[in-house]
Structure 1
Amino acid sequence: MNAPAIQGQVQVYTGNGKGKTTCALGAGMRAAGHGLEVLMICFMKAKVAERGDGEEINYGEFRSAETIPNMMILPVGRQSFVDKENPDPIDIEMAQRGLKMAQEALSEHTCDVLILDEINVAVEWNLISLEQQLNLIEMKPDDVELIMTGRYAHESVIEAADLVTEMREVKHYYDEKKLLARRGFEF
């Protein structure tokens, strides 16, 4: 299948509601279905993590992407949670590694769609700088779609984007029923 030429845009999915990563994954899967090369870099996730009650979380999106030949998901986070007030140097190093991967993907044009999952959170928690995030937008080739997710999208990122969707929580089963993250839906 020959991938169509695209007019790349910058999309941002932000807000306190559920669905930012899910939306980006859907866009990536759709693009992959049309033959586009998709790379997703996850700034705040490891391939395997631990839920609050000690249960191991294996993110389903990593397994699903393995079945799609032109879609790759690369985690650059750790299994443990990041202390946003005092991030561990390891977390900063890992986020910077993800940033370098994103810069290389854009400069070497190794993908048609680049998804930077939770990059807004990485900026808010000082793992990467706002300037570094904005530089990614500036260096994006015209024929690459750049999708950025995560709460806390900075106003300058919103201004630079072509499409911004804010997910707003109206009601959540965690609040109502105290359900923890569920396999197949939250991971």
Structure 2
Amino acid sequence: MSRPRLNKGLVQVYTGNGKGKTTASLGQAVRAIGHGYKVFMLQFMKGSKDYGEIQTAEKYLPNLIIIQSGLETFVSKENPSQADIDLAKQGLATARKVIEEGHYDLVILDEINVALDFNLIDLDDVLEMIKTKPDHVELILTGRYVPKKILDHADLVSEVSLIKHPYYQGVAARKGIEY
């Protein structure tokens, strides 16, 4: 029996300074999986297996594949390491291959907008990937600092605004909530 496929995959962007962009994309992934779709997420600039979504996908969601393409440490925007640049470029190559092959119905490129802002990957390469994606593939790009050229190619853009965050009251990131 064949599984369902989307008739028309769109391009979604989740951006802004508020918390919840990755979380929203994961919610979309769970919804898609519930309807029999296969989901691939590539996380740019992330390398820790301590993220709850990694553990959940491995234990409970065989139709959600998550690959990380970054180090466990934060990237310096002013002076990224060669490893940061190489991993981001490898991640983009993986994303391009996954999208072109079309085996996944939903592809999430988590923090790709930040990788672009930090000049770890090339905007023209990302735009070409968006333009040439198969029609049945839904594509989500997350992260703050989204370039206008990507907004121009998006079908849906949601901006998450920061109004208040516990970090600014001294609350450290909490396992299971922020990661």
TM-score band (shorter)?
over 0.9
Cα distance in 2 for residues equivalent to 1:88 and 1:37: 33
- The answer to whether the Cα contact below 8 Å between 2:41 and 2:110 also exists between their aligned partners in 1 is yes
- The answer to whether the Cα contact below 8 Å between 1:3 and 1:34 also exists between their aligned partners in 2 is no
Among candidates 44, 52, 63, match of residue 60 of structure 1? 52
TM-score, normalised on structure 2? Answer: 0.95
Cα distance in 2 for residues equivalent to 1:78 and 1:145: 27
Structure 2 equivalent of residue 3 of structure 1 = 3
1:1-80 map, 5 Å: 3-6=3-6, 7-48=8-49, 58-66=50-58, 67-80=60-73
Cα distance in 2 for residues equivalent to 1:19 and 1:81: 19
- Structure 2 residue runs of 5 or longer lacking an equivalent are none
Cα distance in 2 for residues equivalent to 1:22 and 1:30: 12
Give the match's secondary structure for 2:108: strand
* Number of aligned residues: 177
Structure 2 equivalent of residue 115 of structure 1 = 108
Give the match's secondary structure for 2:144: coil
Give the match's secondary structure for 1:72: strand
Are residue 139 (structure 1) and residue 132 (structure 2) matched? yes
User: How far is 1:153 from its partner?
Assistant: 0.4
Give the match's secondary structure for 2:84: helix
| Aligned residue identity for 1:89 | Q
For residues 59-85 of structure 1, the C-alpha deviation after alignment (integer angstroms, 9 at most, x for no partner) is 000011111111100011101111111
Cα distance in 2 for residues equivalent to 1:36 and 1:94: 28
Cα distance in 2 for residues equivalent to 1:133 and 1:15: 19
1:164-179 map, 5 Å: 164-175=157-168, 177-179=169-171
Structure 1 equivalent of residue 177 of structure 2 = 185
Among candidates 79, 91, 95, match of residue 86 of structure 1? 79
- The answer to whether the Cα contact below 8 Å between 2:12 and 2:139 also exists between their aligned partners in 1 is yes
TM-aligned CA distance change 1:89 to 1:8, over 3 Å: same
| Aligned residue identity for 1:149 | T
Q: Give runs of ≥4 in structure 1 deviating > 4 Å.
A: none
| Aligned residue identity for 1:82 | V
Among candidates 128, 131, 150, match of residue 143 of structure 2? 150
- Structure 1 residue runs of 5 or longer lacking an equivalent are 49-57
For residues 101-135 of structure 1, the C-alpha deviation after alignment (integer angstroms, 9 at most, x for no partner) is 11111111121110000000000001101111111
TM-score, normalised on structure 1? Answer: 0.91
Cα distance in 2 for residues equivalent to 1:47 and 1:110: 26
- The answer to whether the Cα contact below 8 Å between 1:47 and 1:62 also exists between their aligned partners in 2 is no
User: How far is 1:2 from its partner?
Assistant: 5.0
